[in-house]
Amino acid sequence: MQFLTLDGVSQGPGAPDEDTSDGFTRGGWFVPHLEEEFLRLVTGWTNQADAFLFGRRTYENFARDWPKATDPDDAVASQLNGRPKYVASRSLTTGGWAPTTVLSGEVADQVAELKRQPGRELQIHGSARLAQSLLAAGLIDEVRLAIAPVVVGTGRRLFPDGGAPAGLRLLRNETTPGGLAIQVYETAGPPTYGSYDVESR
């Protein structure tokens, strides 16, 4: 699950101080568009997960905040706090947000092994750099985007220049009352290309 602006930025959606790396000062752009319909969608998605996969930065933010959500009726918090978590990191050796397993070394190989195990979804929330690398490795099956109606003009993008090309097939799309565009794609191998023939139109 990735939160994006219309200009493709995925950095710092949840708060001004969530991710200020590289001097980013426009965080919190997703928050004004949160509402009940979107939360219902997120609850449905997290209920499909058997485990969650994070990059280090996102993991540390989630591990700081989500354990504070202790309402037993909060299905998202219950899933995030209770399900197994995997964090790809070269600097962490343990994770304090139990149950957590740290993946180091060849992360793509370890994720491929996790995907071979029986069970439901292994979901990535945020963690754009990790998602980019796993998409390039062919290890992403479905891409879920929540696009906010805002242009921030700067920040780290989910699909940066020079990233690996990928073909996607739209499975469904919808909008929420708060103005979010929800797009769900399945991966479809490499992109295809063609030429537009004006004479044959």
Low-confidence ranges of the chain (pLDDT < 70): 201
Structure letter (DSSP) for residue 105:
S
How far is 74 from 141, CA to CA, in rounded Å? 27
Number of domains forming the structure of the chain: 1
Residue 144, domain CATH: 3.40.430.10
**Residue 91 near residue 19, CB atoms below 8 Å:** no
* Helices and strands, counts by H and E, the chain: 5, 8
Token digits for 54? 């994070």
What's the domain range around 46?
Answer: 2-200
For residue 105, what pLDDT is reported? 86
CA–CA dist 18, 69 (Å, integer): 17
The predicted-structure confidence for 65-83, as pLDDT tens digits, reads as follows: 999 999 999 999 999 999 9
Spatial distance between the Cα atoms of 9 and 6, rounded to a whole number of angstroms: 7
CA–CA distance, 90 with 166 (Å, rounded to integer):
27
